[in-house]
Copies of this chain bind each other. A is one copy, B any other.
Amino acid sequence: MAKLKSNQKREQIFHAGLKLFAENGYSKTTINDIAREAGVSFGTVFTYYENKAALFRACVTEPLDEFRQYMLTANEELESITLQKLKNLVGQHIDFFMEKEHYLRVIQYVIGQPYRFDEMEVLDEFADEFRSFIQHIVKTGMDKGILPASSPEEVSYGYLAFLMGMRLSFTDQARAHQTNAFKNQALRLFGL
């Protein structure tokens, strides 16, 4: 019970941090801001996270697993891939990048300052994983005759760049037709 309560506060703080780091960057965001956004006293922040850097690290690295899960689920279904399934997968990626606004802003913030944040390493690893996954898809797709001849590596680089850049194009909520535009364009990167 107490544990639940604690976890609840931890999560409030976590999400407050994620939101504010995303909106204002690391230095501009104060522990006080986070505490206020989370609805706790700022002393409480230090009860759950050793310091500001630790909270930031949590914000950058903890969501990665869910991300990994979500992005890579399809890996197993790859044997039975069809054109429609591939289109769905790409659509899911786009939707996912559109939804996770705060997290993606934080990620881009870190990637944009690679010498500044140690968390960069973890993100580099994830990018490698993701590109490998895409390369696997392209190869399988070509083998099955679903995709035209392509360089799997080139597609993987281009596709990840595209997904990241997409997120930079929106201030406000992404509108549906823009999402569709991105889905269509993304397919072109696969030669479709």
Contacts and interface: CB of A to CB of B under 8 A. Distances in A.
Contacts of A23: 113, 115-116
A108 interface: yes
Q: Which bucket holds chain A's interface residue count?
A: 35 or more
A191 B184 CA distance: 11
Nearest to A127: B169
A28 interface: yes
A186 B25 CA distance: 30
B169 A166 contact: no
A39 interface: no
Contact of A191 (B27, B158, B180, B188): B188
Contacts of A127: 169
A153 interface: yes
Given A25-B26, A105-B112, A113-B24, A157 B171 contact: no
